[in-house]
Amino acid sequence: MMAGRWVLQRRGQPEEALERLEDGSGWLTRTGETVRGRWKELPGLLRFVATSGDCYDGSVGADAQLVHGLITRTGRVLGRFTAFPDTPPPPLAALTAPPALPPALAALPRSVHYVPQFLSADDEAAVLRHVRAVPAARWSAGAHGRRTLNFGGRPSEQGESEALPEWAASLCLALMQSGCWAGEPPNHVLVNEYASGAGLDPHTDGPLYAARVATLSLGSDVVLDLHRVPKEGGLRPGAAWGEGGGGAGEREAEGDVDGCPPFAQLLLRRRSLHVMCDDAYSHCWHGITARKHDVVGPLVANLQHEDERGETVPRGPRVSIVFVHKFAAPA
Ligand SMILES: O=C(O)CCC(=O)C(=O)O
Ligand SMILES: [Fe+2]
């Protein structure tokens, strides 16, 4: 069987993907998780054994398309799947004209903007296809239901740069054309994928970037917590996107938030964009509490309609795409 990607569907479960590399190794990807494995070809059967212990057996149809299969773990049947080859997504066409940047949120003392419906539903689906098609090896293996991916060089290395993929460059263009981005264009893009209920420790995005971050929320609504950076003690500021070869996703600095509860929250609806600049970039920590539902409480500062207050918002799998401008390395 040829190298490539297969999309697996199971009743009542989020999609999974299996990838086969030329050397017979491969990857299993579930929301928030990437696991390595090996492919084996047996007569009439194709087997992928993940390091997690799960075994995917698929019968090969006459046209070499894997159609039906069984997932087992130590001999126990976990479920049945159907699979089809994943075709590369078409280039991201011109996006539906996104809305312009509204004024900063009046309820917050700092510069935070919220743009509901920044992407249309069709554009959201197209962007998610591109995210899903990124080879598993580029993702940092997920922990606590979140995996990350970055474009534009390693997060922590100043000046290291790399061209953005076409779809990410199109999104950058949309940010600039809509006026939602000012200053030097974004040149660094981080993608977070969260399993339902996964969180993110409070952090700032750090001084390697210009003081502006724009974040697209896709796939699910979520409530983001904003914390004030304490003058001393408590949380330690640091580059949010981690260090070294592990790539994005490992927090350099984390702290005990117990003494530092959020002073405000943002309800990030799917397809929205939010922008934090200047003071809000440098002096507010942001994070996501791990939980399966959010309740829209009194701290939420960006409601579009007052009757949203009190709403219980379930959290499905979510993807966020974070845009920043990384400074060049000093000469
Ligand atoms: O998922 C989000 O909305 C937040 C992501 C974030 O803050 C980060 O990746 O630095
Ligand atoms: Fe962040």
Question: pLDDT by residue (tens digit) across 88-136?
Answer: 899 998 888 899 999 999 988 779 999 999 999 999 999 999 999 999 9
7-24 pLDDT per residue, tens: 999 998 888 999 999 999
Q: Which residues contact 47 (CB under 8 A, 6 or more apart)?
A: 39, 40, 41, 55, 56, 57, 58
Is residue 322 in contact with ligand 1, taking CB distance under 6 Å? Answer: yes
Is residue 205 in contact with ligand 1, taking CB distance under 6 Å? Answer: yes
What is the reported pLDDT for 245?
A: 27
Q: How confident is the model at residue 238 (pLDDT cuts 50, 70, 90)?
A: very low
* pLDDT, mean over the chain: 87
Q: Residue 183 CB: number of other CB atoms within 10 A? A: 11
What is the reported pLDDT for 299?
A: 97
Distance 4 CA to ligand 1 centre (A): 30
Six-digit token string for 109:
């003392």
What is the reported pLDDT for 62?
A: 67
Is residue 130 in contact with ligand 1, taking CB distance under 6 Å? Answer: no
Residue 232 has pLDDT above 70, yes or no: no
Per-residue pLDDT, averaged over 289-304, amounts to: 97
Distance 190 CA to ligand 2 centre (A): 9
Residues 271, 168, 142, 283, CA torsion sign: negative
159-179 pLDDT per residue, tens: 777 889 999 999 999 999 999
135-145 pLDDT per residue, tens: 999 998 767 89
CA distance 188 to 205: 12
What is the reported pLDDT for 47?
A: 94
CA distance 252 to 63: 49
More confident residue, 140 or 309: 309
What is the reported pLDDT for 63?
A: 67
Q: How confident is the model at residue 64 (pLDDT cuts 50, 70, 90)?
A: low
Residue 240 has pLDDT above 50, yes or no: no
Is residue 187 in contact with ligand 1, taking CB distance under 6 Å? Answer: no
What is the reported pLDDT for 258?
A: 62
Per-residue pLDDT, averaged over 250-259, amounts to: 50
pTM of the model: 0.89
